[in-house]
Amino acid sequence: MSAPSRPCESYAVGIICALDVEKAAVEATLDEEHGGAEKMRGVNDSYSFGRIGQHNVVVACLPAGITGKASAATMAQDIMRSLPIKAGLIVGLGKGV
């Protein structure tokens, strides 16, 4: 799979989805896709890279069958370790509760 077409330093927004269908919905809102999904160093999850408005974003989804706050927090930590994320969103049903 191809790497993102932008340098890693240009991604400042991370979006974590609990389900594949939620990730697909977020990917549908991308104004531009940057390369394909990629596995980042030392992380088993796949990510999609793109742009929404003027913001370069990385979109991630929890692995199938893995749920919960701890899993989302671990994924957020992995993303922040690999990219200079300044804003993070956790999307999906009940995430704001």
Whether this model's pTM surpasses 0.95: no
pLDDT of residue 2: 46
Domain boundaries, the chain: 8-91
pLDDT of residue 94: 61
Q: Parallel, antiparallel, or unpaired: how do β-strands 55-61 and 13-17 relate? A: parallel
One DSSP character per residue, 21-87 reads HHHHHHHHT-SEE-S--EEPTT--SEEEEEEETTEEEEEEEPPTT--SHHHHHHHHHHHHHHS--SE
Query: Tens of pLDDT along 36-75?
Result: 555 555 555 678 899 999 999 999 888 877 878 888 888 8
Segment of 4-13, 31-40, 53-62, 86-95 carrying the highest mean pLDDT:
53-62
